[in-house]
Structure 1
Amino acid sequence: MPDDVAAARAAAEEESAFSHPPVDPDAIASYGGHPDQVIDFYAPRGEAGPGGPAPLVVLLHGGAWRAPYDRRHVTPFAGFLARRGFAVANVEYRRGAEIAGVTGVTGVTGAAGAAGGVEGARVTQGTGGPAGSGGAGDAGGGPVAGRWPETFDDVAAALDALPALVREALPQADPRRIVLTGHSAGGHLALWAAARHCLPADAPWRTDRPAPLRGVVALAPIADFTVADKLDVCGGAARQLLGGAEEFAERRPYADPALLLPTGIATTLVQGRTDDVVPQAVAESYADAAAKAGEVVGLTLLEDVGHFPLIDPAADACAVVVEEIAQLAW
């Protein structure tokens, strides 16, 4: 496919994904004192399977771990899941450096979110998208990716607090049927959160046993930091997340899902073959690492699909994602 045609299609996919109005949650709960330490809860609105409490999908948004890109941009996807009978927990976490507003990021729309500040920003076409490799997402001059160790502190704390918060905020959810999912950088965090029992013994986030999950569905995840770094995914975001070049090798064993295998938890990766934001090679490398560790990881490759249709309720790829989640949840 000619480069100009591919670029036009990728732009159209991104525009479609961010054309949907934000979907407000049914409840919001805090798992810490920082404004970003919150979880949005969506009650099930449809029939996804047998009666009774609904499976819970825990959603971690992408955005290259950078501060301007918050959970608001995946609320249409959260609403889509809820309409198909799932209970949904949309997790926010600290990202990038502390910034005032979203200065330097163009194309930001949407009302202020529940937590204020950056919360509620929805990044539209023109910024490179939440996980884009261009615009404000670039390493040069744009927001820095992630906060070490706060990004990891928050995801661990959110997952630990989730059972109690769900009982109060979302009684329709079945805490025995949890599927963890995430897109792009959120896919990385989903894989990492499911592998906390595989972390080095001195890791503050390590757990004694695997999380009680039905499985993980990681969408175009930044799943292998070595490959992502070689490909300069999202402007060097993986290296930035860990603190820079000097810290990259030292901290990778604590953060890179490809080094935290086998997990013993059912895992599926969903990846578009024409994804030029997080290329197919990243997911394939993780699947290869899992196989070498003696674990089978599902890898669903979607033809003629880029990065953003996986979270776009208007795209056929999004329906495939829901089916992958349903296979684990039910």
Structure 2
Amino acid sequence: MMHYGPHPDQHLQFFEPENVMAKGAVMIIHGGYWREKYTAQLGVPLAQDLANRGIPSYNLEYRRGTGSAAAMLADARLALGLIKEDGPITLIGHSAGAQLACVLAANDSRVSQVISQAGLLDIEYARRLALSDGAVDLLLDGAQPAAYNPVELWPMAARVIIFHGRDDEDVPVKIARLAAQRAAALGQDYRFALFAGDHYTWIDPHSSQWAACVGALTPLHY
């Protein structure tokens, strides 16, 4: 485990393959509506699975909680600087982790690709829906949303892959549809696909949804 700051949540786990089979690296960013009770433990099975496939993999923990939008971005940028591999970097973000992944990609040119798993890609729309008991308002705590809203940061150089489950009750599929429409209108390089399954099938390394995420790594990393 590598620490990139003094706070207990400022750490990055590295999962090193026994035999490296891929170029570059992947960083997993967990979700949980930016609340502190949801931790990087959610990303461990995914990072381990990627390492087993020969992909150097990192699992990010970061500061969360009320008013943490700027701190999360600062943390993610510091952690990204610890990735030692040359070559493309893909960020895989689940739910709120996809929001942070996109904001990081817009602010750091090292990121080649973002895979959004049931992502909160439009936090203004999520705020209007008052998702997860007003989680967006807690995240921002008075900060202006534009700097932290993925759809407001497009187009960016990194490609965005928007994956979402049709049966998602935590992040409505309409958010993914609207994000894809926005990407098309702005000329953002993107891919959009819907799958069977709910909000959590994406973080099951045995699921077909996760297999789709692994497949999306092939053009860049193999």
Q: TM-score range by the shorter chain?
A: over 0.9
Partner of residue 152 from structure 1, selected from 70, 73, 81: 73
Give the 3-state SS of the residue equivalent to 1:195 in structure 2: helix
TM-score (ref. length: structure 2): 0.92
Aligned 1:1-330 pairs, distance under 5 A: 28-45=1-18, 54-96=23-65, 145=66, 147-159=68-80, 161-163=81-83, 166=84, 174-196=85-107, 211-243=109-141, 247=142, 251-302=144-195, 304-330=196-222
The share of aligned pairs that are identical, in percent, is 33
- Provide the secondary structure at the position in 1 that maps to 2:171: coil
Q: What runs of 5+ residues in structure 2 fail to find an aligned partner?
A: none
Q: 2:55, 2:10 → 1: CA distance? A: 23
Mapped partners of 2:24, 2:203: distance in 1: 19
Would you say the 8 A contact 2:112–2:159 is kept in 1? Answer: yes
Q: Distance in 2 between matches of 1:323 and 1:47?
A: 17
If you compute each CA radius of gyration, which structure gives the higher value, 1 or 2?
1
How many residue pairs get aligned? The number is 222
Computed over aligned residues only, the root mean square deviation of the Cα atoms, in angstroms, reads: 1.8
Q: Is the 8 A contact 1:46 1:85 kept in 2?
A: yes
Q: TM-score, normalised by structure 1?
A: 0.63
Write the distance in 1 (CA, Å) between the matches of 2:152 and 2:13: 30
Q: Distance in 1 between matches of 2:109 and 2:157?
A: 10
* 8 Å CA contact 2:93, 2:116 repeated in 1: yes
CA-to-aligned-CA distance 1:121-151 (integer Å, 9 cap, x gap): xxxxxxxxxxxxxxxxxxxxxxxx5524322
Q: Secondary structure at the match of 1:328?
A: helix
Asked if 1 retains the 8 angstrom alpha-carbon contact of 2:111 and 2:158, the reply is yes
